[in-house]
Structure 1
Amino acid sequence: MKIRASDGSRLRRINLAATLRALRGEPAVGLTELAARAELSRPTVEGLVEDLLGLGWVSEVPPESGRMGRPRRLFRFRAEAGHVLGIDVGSSGARAVVCDLNGEVRGRSTVRAEASFGREKRLAGMRSAAHEALSYAGVPAAHVMAVCVGTTGVVTATGTVRLCVSLPDWTGLDLAAEAGRDFDAPVLVENDCNLAALAERWVGVAQHADDVVFVLSGTRTGAGMLIRGELHRGGRGAAGEIGALPLVGWHRAPSHLAAFPGLPPSAPAGEVAGLVFAAARSGDPAARWAVEQFAHDLAEGIAALVLSVDPDLVVLGGGVSRSADVLMEPLRRHLDPLCLEPPALAISGLGDQAVVTGAVRHALNHVDARLYDVDAPLPASSRPGP
């Protein structure tokens, strides 16, 4: 077999990726240990590190003090060499988080919105949250390597909201293009439930599960799925939209809470569930009955997903997760008889940060794919070192 000139270049790119992986998320390390981690020779790694220094992905740290003889050279991955931006935009407003390439939060912002806001006001709030988070982090928009926006609704692979029931004027919106006006970086758009599922596996209760169903329930109910640890969107981005099927109860579940006679006449839609669960917690019979019916309808949709996917774990998030002490017992009671085997069920601890955290993870995954793509040149960092 003849060896082409390009083969050596590709091998070097493979070795660069291996060296980056060995440095990523670790403290400063010397060349000998780095070579062992990357499973490469020390001379090879020494040359690769010089390349990475020039591209701005690695920096040399001061030598250790108190050591006899020639101090060894120490290197670290420059997580500050690039940043990602995660955004969660929905009916109640927009959240934005800026992270470095190790996933450490460097800035965040929240801009509130009213349910009555139209498309333009909502987009303005999204932009405001993004720019406030970047300003707090001290990161120019030009140094953002990837942006991910999470939204309610069915989203196409190109970032258009194909259908959005809770925000009707969102339907047909090219959200990727709208967000992309402010950034040269790639802009990803993903369904909010899908992103919440990613967040749970990254830093939440599903870190040790491969097949996960995340159910987001509040003023509406939706689901996202991970299969073998990977996001499952389906062919047209509509996987998990079990609530569209009238035979399951997700579409009517909120009506049981809204019918609670103890609600104030002007209670905002976003506060109804909390008020009803609080009343049920205090022993109000009508509230407890409303929660019972809500749990029954919620269980129908969850059971349909459990029987289809057979997940390792079902995670319940959204507004109702704050009332697990009231909801879990009736939910379990209605869910288990509908399944061949009672599923493992957990409550999300990420609260209202689940979607934006998943957006950050999705953006980081995109950057990682670029850094470790051995068929493309390794790009220079967005923020070169000194």
Structure 2
Amino acid sequence: MAAQTTSSTPIARKISTNAAVRTVLAKGPISRADIAKLTGLSKQTVSEVVQDLIDEGWLRSSGRTDGKRGRSAITYELNARAGLAASIDLGGAKIAVAIGDLLGTIIAETVVPTDPRGGRHLVDQFEASLHALAAEADVGIGDLRLAVLGTPGVFDPATGQIRAAPNVPGLESIDMRRLLGGRLGIPVLIENDVNLAALGEQWRGHGADKKNFAFIALGTGIGMGIVANGALVRGARGAAGEICFLPLGGDPFDPRSFTLGTLESAVGSAAIARRYAGFGGPEDSTVKDLFSAFAAGGPSATATIEETARLIAVAIAAIGVILDPEIVILGGNIGSRPELVDAIRRLLPRCTPYPIRLEISQFGGRAALIGGLGVAVRHMHDDLFGIGLKDV
């Protein structure tokens, strides 16, 4: 039997496939000749790799070169729908769900109110939402390769339970990863929602060219995702960034602060609504009502925004001297409001000597959903081609 050549060994073919797919992702649509030129692979190897990828459904022809410098050639691009994944962002008030392809393009997306019963009822919601989205996108639920779930609190990989998420009941009593994976028949990855938001910013947002930054999400609660030296920081128990427990904005020795956290009790949505009522706003007002009143110049709303910004500025000043980030990105349904961020920017120089650059997430309240999709894309590329998130 003839000896197997180096170019045909499994490892060599994987390296060649990796190089070809990287080039198609970066330069496609592209011809085989140009792939060979850019990768340094032989034309024969490129031809074999491209044909294998076409046969397996990962590449497809997209047209031809214009032929101005000789004969035209067929060009190829990634068949993005050959790999699909789900991203789910679980919040205390709503659940956002999306299906995305191999390029990270969202092909269907929805938002539904969170079932207040929590626990196993959330698994029902996730499954129903994904079936509806798959039908909308004209794909089969069986086409999904994995799902990424972002949740508040701290995920325990040993038990599958989610701790320290008081705004969503029933998470500590179930193995969410096992239950959801069993329902969908695919692997399920679970990550803290604010960590996912930070990864979303690192993938396609303000953190894309930053090695050190923090993402702060403010909505029903408050949390932070940390990227240091280019990597997500989780901490010894997965609780890095749980700034809801910072001893600011109230009495940290009050036992009630062990549930929501001292800072969250002062700047979460419920606290902001109470503050607005305390400054003379209507008792039954929501945060949305507050911002509408602020736009109209209401003095109670102005005072509420100012006091909330003062508390958040102190928290960011503390974070700044500990982490020394290049940038702090603010997101969430409240944290991404320019009215609030402008007030924080104005107050920060008064409480810290260190300059801190603030930016509003371009994803608004969708940063965790985008981050989940980015993680899914990375895993699909790793599994299929050996290409990680940094290459997408």
TM-score under structure 1 length normalisation: 0.85
Matches of 1:284 and 1:165, distance apart in 2: 33
Displacement of 1:214 in angstroms is 0.8
1:120 aligns with 120
3-state SS of 1:320 partner: coil
CA RMSD of aligned residues (A): 2.7
Contact 1:324/1:347 (8 A) holds in 2 = yes
Report 1:14-163 matches (<5 A): 14-24=15-25, 26-63=27-64, 71-113=72-114, 116-157=116-157, 159-163=160-164
1:18 & 1:152 partners in 2: Cα distance?
38
> Relative to structure 1, is the Cα distance of residues 172 and 337 closer, same or farther in structure 2, using a 3 angstrom cutoff?
farther
Which structure ranks higher in relative contact order (CA pairs < 8 Å, sequence separation ≥ 6)?
1
Equivalent residues of 1:109, 1:133 under 8 A apart? yes
Amino acid at match of 2:325: P
SS in structure 1 at match of 2:334: helix
1:142 Cα deviation (Å)?
Answer: 1.9
**CA distance 1:322–1:52, change in 2 (3 Å):** closer
- Alignment equivalent of 1:278, drawn from 279, 292, 302: 292
Shift in alpha-carbon separation, 1:186–1:6, aligned structure 2, 3 A: farther
1:258 lines up with 2:252 in the alignment: no
Pick from 297, 300, 304: which aligns with 2:314?
Answer: 300
After TM superposition, give the deviation of residue 60 of structure 1 in Å: 3.4
1:61 is displaced (CA, Å) by 4.3
Question: Once the 2 structures are TM-superposed, how far is the Cα of residue 150 of structure 1 from its aligned partner?
Answer: 0.9
Identity score, percent? 29
What secondary structure, in the 3-state scheme, does the structure 1 residue paired with 2:208 have?
coil
User: 1 CA distance for matches of 2:289 and 2:327?
Assistant: 28
Query: Letter of the aligned partner of 1:344 in structure 2?
Result: R
- Matched letter for residue 260 of structure 1: Y
Q: Per the alignment, do residues 25 and 80 of structure 1 end up closer, same or farther by CA in structure 2, a change over 3 Å counting?
A: farther
Q: Is the 8 A contact 1:273 1:319 kept in 2?
A: no
Amino acid at match of 2:79: R
Task: Select the residue among 336, 345, 350 that pairs with 2:363.
Answer: 350
Q: Which residue is 2:239 aligned to? A: 238
Q: What is the CA distance between 1:263 and its match in structure 2?
A: 4.2
- Kept in 1, the 8 Å contact 2:335–2:341? The answer is no
Post-superposition shift, 1:147?
0.8
The amino acid that maps onto 2:314 is E
Could you tell me whether the CA contact under 8 Å between 1:206 and 1:212 is conserved in 2? yes
Secondary structure of 1:179 counterpart: helix
Change (3 A) 1:38 1:69: closer
Q: CA shift at 1:63, angstroms?
A: 4.2
- Show CA shifts across 1:82-101 (max 9, x none): 11111112222222111110
Q: Secondary structure at the match of 2:337?
A: helix
Letter of the 2:197 partner, please give it: A
Q: Which amino acid counterpart does residue 120 of structure 2 have in structure 1?
A: E
Distance 1:342 1:132 in 2: 47
Q: 2: distance between equivalents of 1:340 and 1:178? A: 49
Tell me the TM-score normalised to structure 2 length: 0.84
How far is the alpha carbon of 1:25 from its aligned partner? 5.2
CA drift of 1:49 comes to: 1.7
The aligned counterpart of 2:303 is 289
- Of residues 30-39 and 202-211 in structure 1, the stretch that sits farther from structure 2 once superposed is 202-211
Answer whether contact 1:274 1:323 (CA < 8 A) is retained: no
Amino acid across the alignment from 2:223: G
Preserved CA contact (<8 Å) 1:111 1:126? no
Q: CA deviation at 1:273?
A: 2.2
Q: What residue in structure 2 maps to residue 380 of structure 1?
A: none
Distance 1:15 1:336, change over 3 A: same
Distance 2:127 2:190 in 1: 15
Q: Aligned with 2:276: secondary structure?
A: coil
Task: Quote the offset at 1:64 in angstroms.
Answer: 5.0
Which AA in structure 1 matches 2:78? F
Q: 2:341 aligns to what?
A: 328
CA distance 1:80–1:192, shift in 2 (3 Å): same
Give the C-alpha shift of residue 319 in structure 1: 1.9
Taking the aligned partners of 1:318 and 1:148, their CA distance within structure 2 comes to: 19
- Unaligned regions of 5+ residues in structure 2, if any? 250-262, 388-392
When residues 340 and 121 of structure 1 are mapped into structure 2, their CA distance, relative to the original with a 3 A threshold, is same
**Count of aligned pairs between the two proteins:** 366
Secondary structure of the residue aligned to 2:217 is strand
Give the counterpart letter for 2:363 in structure 1. Answer: L
Cα shift at 1:188: 0.6
Structure 1 stretch displaced more, 232-241 or 155-164: 155-164
Other-structure match for 2:166: 165
Q: Is the contact made by 2:321 and 2:354 (CA closer than 8 Å) also made in structure 1?
A: no
In the TM superposition, what are the counterparts of 1:205-216 in structure 2 within 5 Å? 205-216=206-217
Structure 1 unaligned spans of 5+: 375-386
C-alpha change, 1:300 and 1:155, in structure 2 (3 Å) is farther
